[in-house]
Structure 1
Amino acid sequence: MNSHLTAITQELNINTDACLYRFDLDLSHCHLTVLSNTQALVSELRDYFRSYPQHQATADIEIHLIESSEPAPSYPWADWAREAGKSGRKDSYVDIHKGRLLHKVRTGMVFFQSNMSRLAVGPCLQNINQVVNFINNQYMNYLQQQEHVICHAAAVSINGKGTAVAAFSGGGKSTLMLKLMDHPGAKFISNDRLFLKANSQGVLSRGVPKLPRINPGTILNNPKLLSILDPEEQHSLNRLPQTELWDLEQKYDVMIDQVYGENKIELETQLDTVLLLNWDRKSSDKPLLTKVNPENHKKLIGAIMKSPGPFYQDAKGAFLAGPEIPALEQYLAVLNKVNVYEVSGGVDFDYLAQIYLETA
């Protein structure tokens, strides 16, 4: 154990030697090994990531997860600023021991992040989604340190060609992505974070092993997803006005293998097309697909731009001080190499999926 991890575990009064249970996530070019002090947590993670390779190998990244009562560290916490349009306290942090200690205000979870050590402490079993996010953040750091550009986008591969879907907040990127999954040649790549890097064939897109987390409106408008809700929930939600249903934040996981079958997930593909949803819920027009030059639609590119967040650490060990977004030029450098379409007009997921898949 390195000195920085030793120091932080002593301060938090925990013991990583108790982490006797192991879970491996083999992402081919990056191997993550997770060690925990509870078998139940490892079992939960194995089940969540069951569609991804879990072969044991030498770890590129090692993560310790300590199930415990809520720790109460007394540090000079600073609030992490929320992104535009979001309010309320969510994360606070302090940079210490050549890393960052981050406190989830609502759940009490505490995470330590450095380029040498990764640690989660608290009621992990009650907050599996935060634990999954922390594990994925380590892979996201790896990709960004390998010069991939972070994107706020969902993505599928259709007959081997990648399609990314981006939208401004609440624009329906996950709903459309899951509609595109109906294509027999479609495979799920990613739901909310996509990483792009130019290569000799064009642009490589890589997703993260995170299942789609969707709102009830997405479920009710896709027959394949209805089984996620029990009949009573369906009845209750169907009674809500459409505008209220659209804005309802109540997340459900989509188990891709259960809904779409086995072997319907892959982590990377060559990117062919980006769909930027710029449609209007109040419009009765049919959606319109228009090919655009990213250089001439820089405001629209904002839909795909995303801050790496408080866990991001560059290869030299530096963290961000706030929700900074990578430079526009980094996005243009990759988007100029693929087909980019603006989707305007009214919102109609079925129609848009149909006209797009006819050309896929």
Structure 2
Amino acid sequence: MILSGGTCRELMARVRSRIPAPHGLTLGFAGCLVQVTSSSRGLKEALADYFQEFLCDGGPPAVRISLHDSEVLSVPFAFAPKAPSPGKTRVKEEWADFPDGRMVRKRLTGMLFLFGGGEHLAVGPCRANTNQVINFINNRFIEWKLRKGSLLGHGAGVVAGDRGLAVAGVSGAGKSTLALHLMAAGARFVSNDRLMVTRRGAGLEMCGVAKHPRINPGTALTVPGLSGLLGPRERARFRAMPRDVLRTVEEKHDVPIHRFFGPGRFILTAPLSGLVILNWAGTGSPTVVRSLEMPRDVRLLSAFAKDTGLFYGPFQGQDTKAPTLSAYADLLAKVPVVELSGGRDFVQGTKVCLAMLSL
């Protein structure tokens, strides 16, 4: 199938007419009803299992998404490559803009994502790339929140009682691992990697996305209760590795929160009562704890400020400026911010975070 010609909305209409999507479910994300329809019953069932804590009865949806499982489509458009993230070399995504929307293509899988004018569609080998579909659904919710005035943060989030804590840091700093250690100590989970922050009354509210943590074997073996994520042979193999070698193993596993921590432990909104920035450098030396003052330490906020990426405009003819670091500093001016530097130590990091949550 060749997908060409017309506006973004016309292209989406063409896909829907050729590949109907009759199988539906409704998700409730922090006051936002998301209606998802799929051409594949198997994909719908996989999504219902993944999002099971967020399934809800139907109602007027704020976001409608259709998923169309097919072969990789031919799309004769001029795509612009997205520059790789810092430290990376491979181009993974490219995009083409229309006056009424955008098309994003994943180079490795050929998946296409079209959105604009309140419409959202994915087409391609969806069933074989469920994780990309899950990310797209969550991205559409993120856009909905950002258009209501939230700032996007790169961080994990947990909550204990009426206090919530965000954990920020560059990729690989240990945000998810620290959040899971806090879960093992009794906290509830808010988000794995993305947080939308907004003012709520006299304080701040953080909102996460319905994405389960994805961790490496080293984390599964060190966080209490997660070793069962690996089979007996895998556990034995990884436990036999030197710790410095184990830390380099990249083999991602989903951690379904409801399965390992019980129902009701995954919520999407919580007060934002504090922020921890992970600035660790290796292991072996003591962790250093330092309270930061805003906006004097605005430079470190770059670890929390998050670019919206390709899944949020502007499109052709639009001029939307990204928030500045000063905007993040102003928003977080009254929130306690702590930096953890020195050696990476999750036991010490957990103690610091629990102390902030119990204030």
Alignment of 1:15-94 (within 5 A): 15=17, 18-94=20-96
What are the within-5 Å matches in structure 2 for residues 4-23 of structure 1? Answer: 4=7, 7-9=10-12, 15=17, 18-23=20-25
1:193 paired to 2:188: no
Shift of 1:28: 4.5
SS in 2 for 1:19: coil
Residue deviations 1:141-200 (CA, integer Å, cap 9, x gap): 01111111100000000112101101123111111011011233x211000000111222
RMSD, aligned α-carbons = 2.2
Q: 2:335 maps to what in 1?
A: 338
1:91-110 superposed matches below 5 A = 91-96=93-98, 98-110=100-112
Question: Taking structure 1 as reference, are residues 317 and 64 closer, same or farther at Cα in structure 2, changes over 3 Å only?
Answer: farther
Shift of 1:337: 2.0
TM-score by length of 1: 0.91
Q: Which whole-Å CA distance do the structure 1 matches of 2:137 and 2:58 have between them?
A: 16
Q: Percent identity between the aligned chains?
A: 33
1:218-257 equivalence runs, <5 A: 218-257=219-258
- Aligned equivalents of 2:208 and 2:319: distance in 1? 22
SS in 1 for 2:26: strand
Structure 1: which amino acid aligns with 2:266? I
Distance 1:6 1:326, change over 3 A: closer
SS at the partner of 1:296? coil
Residues 80-159 of structure 1 correspond to what in structure 2 (within 5 A)?
A: 80-96=82-98, 98-159=100-161
Q: Which residue of 1 aligns with 2:3?
A: none
The yes-or-no answer on 1:167 pairing with 2:164 is no
What is the distance in 2 between the residues matched to 1:293 and 1:225? 36
Query: Structure 2: which amino acid aligns with 1:8?
Result: L
Q: Deviations over 1:71-93 (max 9, x none)?
A: 12121111111222222010011
2:217 is aligned to 216
1:300 aligns with 2:297: no
Query: Counterparts in 2 of 1:316-327, with a 5 A limit?
Result: 318=318, 326-327=323-324
8 A Cα contact 2:184 2:224, kept in partner:
no
Deviates more, 1:294-303 or 1:104-113: 294-303
Q: Partners in 2 of 1:200 and 1:315 — Cα distance? A: 33
Check the 8 A contact 1:114/1:317 in 2, yes or no: no
Deviation at 1:231, TM superposition (A): 1.5
Q: Distance in 2 between matches of 1:89 and 1:315?
A: 21
How many angstroms does 1:218 deviate by?
Answer: 1.3
Query: How far, CA to CA, are the matches of 2:256 and 2:182 in structure 1?
Result: 16
Number of matched pairs: 352
Do the aligned partners of residues 61 and 316 (structure 1) sit closer, same or farther apart at CA in structure 2, a change above 3 Å counting?
Answer: farther
Change (3 A) 1:224 1:204: same
Q: Can you list the C-alpha shifts for 1:220-253, whole angstroms capped at 9, x where unaligned?
A: 2113111111111122223334333323332111
Corresponding residue SS for 1:338: coil
Distance between the aligned counterparts of 2:197 and 2:144, measured in 1? 13
Q: Is contact 1:190–1:208 with CA below 8 Å preserved after alignment?
A: yes
Q: Which residue of 2 aligns with 1:207?
A: 208
1:266-310 deviation digits (Å, cap 9, x = unpaired): 11011111011112214421x232211032222211111211110
Q: Is the contact made by 2:66 and 2:122 (CA closer than 8 Å) also made in structure 1?
A: yes
Contact 1:312 1:319 in 2 (8 A): no
TM-score w.r.t. the length of structure 2 is 0.92
Evaluate the alpha carbon distance shift between residue 221 and residue 166 of structure 1 in structure 2; reply closer, same or farther with a 3 A threshold: same
| 1:177 maps onto 2:174 in alignment | no
Change in CA separation of 1:244 and 1:252 when aligned onto 2, cut-off 3 Å:
same
Contact 2:190–2:207 (CA under 8 A) maintained in structure 1: yes
The question of whether the paired residues in 2 share the 8 Å contact of 1:310 and 1:319 is answered with: no
Conserved? CA contact 1:25–1:33, under 8 Å: yes
1:251, 1:96 → 2: CA distance? 35
Amino acid at match of 1:302: S
Q: Counterpart of 1:242 in structure 2: which amino acid?
A: R
5+ long unaligned stretches in structure 2 = 1-5
SS at match of 1:33: strand
Distance 1:311 1:89 in 2: 16
Specify whether residues 16 and 97 from structure 1 end up closer, same or farther in structure 2 by C-alpha distance, changes over 3 A only: farther
Q: Secondary structure at the match of 1:350?
A: helix
